Each structure stands twice: as structure tokens, then as C-alpha cells.
Structure 1
Amino acid sequence: MKNLIFIILPLALISMLLGLYVGFIRIGWAFPVSSRLPIPQHGILMIGSFLGTLISVERVAVLKTRWTWLVPILMVSSLFFIIFLQNLVAFGVLLIGSLGYCFISFQNYQTYKLRGDVLMIIGAAFQVIAFTVFIITHSYPMSFASWMLYLIFTIVGERLNLTRFLPVSKKSVIELYIWLGLILVSSFLYHFGLAVVVSISLWGIAQWLIRNDIALINIKKYGHFKFLGVALLSAYAWLIISGGLGLLKTDNPYIYDALLHSFFVGFVLTMILAHAPIIFPSLLQIRITPFHPFMYIWLLALHISLFLRVYGDVFQQYELRKLGGLLNGISFMGFLFTIAGIILTKKIIKSHE
């Protein structure tokens, strides 16, 4: 069944490429379009067909239950329904896939009994809520909080599992639970005066990760370990920026775009970049850890371009946010293609040895 990964991963990457392309058009680039291009579905392609598939397949790969592979298959199959403009079917398939992911998360906890797995179960539940809300409202802003909680609890759960190898005290873990509890409650009561608490909670989670995660340890090392440390710290910096953007009180319609992309691109996609040299070879069952200093160029380009986009959003400079959006996508694609190139080159070299 693990051979399915060679079908699922390419389809997930196609979802990403299509999502980026329609995102370029949405932000204002006059690229070729057709009536069948799913321009309104940029968000679903990225968070459902791409991220939903990537996260679920990573979880499924460590389990030995065959039926669990149905979950990433469902998530990535939404791509075909979106391409053929069967949007309601695509959303329904993603909802069913997210329900399956809940069962996988629970099974994962039963197998390994790690405390971070509990957080990932909570995150999985919020993915179900997000797709449910989106199907009912067809509104990204209405679904944003649930998707944010899904990714925060999933990412923090994974990081918490890794801290079991580090000297993290029980008091420190309790502190993390307090921050997560605060963001959980304040997100539900966001429009009832607790918006400030959401931002403070994001700052609290970010500083906890900076202090207790492996980032500060890895940054003192070399090669892909150092790259991991740098990428993690930059992701946590964007989580802090996301919190800051949430405090801005203005009638600027682009602030939502700035907050959305500082979180999803700055925090979430940077976390993918950080772990790509480890995750992709593991999923593909390749004993290669791809690293090249050129990867820093793409990481820097992603952050600079995101800063341009956010700056353009905050100060309503249309051309700047448009340029930043384009360079965001190019940077992320360039990084993934670089990883693929390094893996392929190393495999060729090994085959000739």
C-alpha cells in the first residue's frame, strides 16, 4: 500500500501548483485563464487538496492499517472534482476525508500514547469543523479560525512529541496548555471582545516554541540540522507577526489578507520547508537527507517576498502586494523543486557507485 505514496504525493503537488496559479490570478496577475479554471478555489486547493493530503499521508505512513490510506486518497481526489468544477462534491469529499483523519489521529494516539497526539486529535476535530462551516457558509473568513486552530494544534502537537527527547519540565508543558486553552476560548469569542487575547495567545505559543523546541539547539549545528533550526525560528517569528497583525484596528480591507498569509505562508509553509528534507525522503523510503546551501536562498526569498506582500497589504500598496504574492509562490515552488533535484542527483550518484 505504501506504493500509493508515488501517486498521492505528485497529485498533492499538482494541487499546490494549481492553487498557486489561481492565487496569482486572484492577486491581479494577467496570466492565461479559462472558464474552467477554478479561480475561487485557491484556498481549498492549498489547505485541503495540498496541506490536508500532505499532513494525512505523513500520519498514515507510520501506521500499519491499510484502510487509513483511503484518507489521503480522499483528500487528494478533491483535486479532480475541483478541476471539473464539481465544487460541492469536492468539499464533501474533503469533509469525509477530514472525518477519517480524526479516526487516524485517535488510532495514532492509541498506538503511541504521546501527549502531543492528544493535541493532534483536537486539531483534526477543528479541520472537520472548518470544512463543515465552509460547506454551510462558503466563506473563508468564517472558516479561518477553525483552520488556524487545526494547524496550530497539529503543528504544536508534533513539536511537543519531539520535546520528549529534551529537558522540558512539567511546569513548562502546563504553560503550553494554558496558551493553547487561551487561544481555543478566545477564538470562539473573537467577536465578543477577545481578539486581543488571540494575539497574545499566538505570541505565547511562539515564545514557548522558541524556548522549548529544538530550534535553538539545531541552529548551533551544521548542514540540514542548522537549516532546520533557522527555518523553525523564522516560522515562529511569523507567528509573532500574525499576532501583531491581529491587533491592528483599521478599515483597511487588506489586513485580513496580511493576517491570513502571514500565518499560512509565514508560519505553516515555512514549517513544511523546515521539515521537507526529512519528511519527503522518509515518505518516499529513500535513505537520503537532501541539503544544499542554496536552500537558504529560497527560504530568504520566501520571507522577503512575504514581507513585501504584508507591507503592501498594510499600507495598501497594490503593486507591492501583487509582486510579493508572485514571489511567494515562486520561492515555495523553487524550494520544493530544489529538494527534488538534490534527491534525484544523489540517487543517480549512488546508483553509479
Structure 2
Amino acid sequence: MKTTVLREDSTTARLPRQPAPAAPAGPRPHRRGPAGPGRIVGRALLYMALTGLAAAVLVPFAWMLVSSLKADSEVFTVPIQWIPKSFRWENFSDIWDQIPLWTYLGNSLFLSVVITALQVLTGSFAAYGFAKVRFPGRDAVFLAYIATIAVPWQAYMVPQYILMQKLGLVNTHLSLILLQAFGAFGVFLMRQYYLTIPDEISEAARLDGLTEYGIWARIVLPLSKPALAGLALLTFVNTWNDYMGPFIYLTDNDLWTVQLGLRSFVGMYSSQYAMIMTGSVLSVLPILVVFLLGQRYFVQGISTSGMK
């Protein structure tokens, strides 16, 4: 009986044996099993709670919209009459004849756009200095500046008015623009976002010969679109809804904003509540459009600010 001997090839024998691939480090991914009854019930309760909160937030807006289609005597009925007896669609056409609404909307739009642009410019520029430029006392100056947020506006309202009166800027839009062109909150928001941008990018740009102005304009700003959109949206909404500022500084009817214009329906003995609700609905529409266009950048900018 012949015995067959298997011989390895010399070339194959010389090759080193490859070690077996090591298992990946770290904990093994947990595989979720089928959702149990407890998890389904908990998720259903969570969705119900969120739906209830959303409904509580939307109820005032729904009441405002319904009241804009009622007569004055039906606005404050008890209990609330959610479906009007007769829909008064003519309220949305009569309001343009009773007050110069186009003028009020134009003034509000002008102030909101100008103040928003200035706050985004000044806030982003100051935030760059606090976040990317090293100088003695930087953190102390930043904390002192941010501390002004805690000071209520009523504390310095009278000195501001006296200053604007001495400058002859009362009853002008310029007074509101100068007072609101700078904001500590915008500086804080932009600085927190700038901290998420690696310093190595700025250092490399300095080695390439870019000045601080060039780094801010050509590198930092393009990387900060979400934070800029968030700051712009917040500033636009706050300026559009501002009532006390225009009420104090603007006396000419041609300079009034839409918030002041709605006061035209408030009389000494009676008020046109339906018209007030109609004007409120029309004043909310521009904010709604702006928010719908920029909500993606707004949420991204707010959620990433402060993360490093």
C-alpha cells in the first residue's frame, strides 16, 4: 500500500501567516428587540403630552383668527363661540380703509430689516473679537458686557430718552435704530457658535497673510450661516413686535409701526375688538413667512451654539 505525502510549495512555506483580524474595540452595538407593551404605552403617552402642549400653544392663535371673522359683540362671549354665527370676511378689507395699514406695515418692515442687519453685523464682528482674538482682559470684558443683559430696560429708559432728546432724534426712526443696533445677546449667541470653529483654521489663515478682517469676512462668516440666521430671525421678530420703543419715541402718525397702529381701534368708550384681531392676524403673517423660510437654519444655529 502506497503512502502519499503532501509537500508544501517552497514559496508558499516562506510567506508569513497573516494574523486573524482583531475584533473592533469598544462595546458591541446593542440590538434592540421588539418593542414591548411598556415601551409602546410610554411612547403613546409622550405623543399625547406633546400634542396637548402644542394645542395649548396654538389655542390663542386659533382664537385670534376666529375672532377676526366675528362682530365686535361676539369676540368676548362666554363661553367662547369658536364658530361665528356669520363669517365677516369684509373685516380684512375694511381695515385698510379705516387706518393707513400699508404705512404702518412699511414702517415696521423698514425698522425690522435695518435693525436686524445692524445687529447681525455688529454682533458677529464683536463676537469674533471675543472668541478668536487674544488680548488682555478679554474674558473679563466679555462677562461685563454680557452682564448688561440682566439690567432691565426700565432702569435706563429715561436716560436714553433724554440723550435722544438732546440730540434732536425724538420722533424719528433713527432714534430706534441707534438704540437697537447693538445687542449683548447677539454677541453672546455668535461667540458661542464661533467657539465651535477650530482655531487651527484661523491660525492657518493668518500664516497665509489674511488680516483679522479678512478671516472674519472670508472664513468665519461663511461657516456661521446657521447662527447668523438664528440671530437674524430673533432680532426681526423682537423688532417687529416691539411696542414700548415706538410708543415712547414716535409721535407722528406717519412714523407709527403696525403695533402702534392697532391702537387706533381702541377708543375711550368702546373698542373695535374684531378689527384689532384682524390687524393682529395681518401683522403675524410676515413673521410667519420669515420663520417658515429660516426655521431650518434657526433650529440648527440655536442647537449648536455653546457646543464645542
TM over 0.5: no
Q: Tell me the TM-score normalised to structure 1 length.
A: 0.25
Q: Higher helix proportion, which one?
A: 1
TM-score (norm 2): 0.27
| Higher RCO (Cα < 8 Å, 6 or more apart) | 2
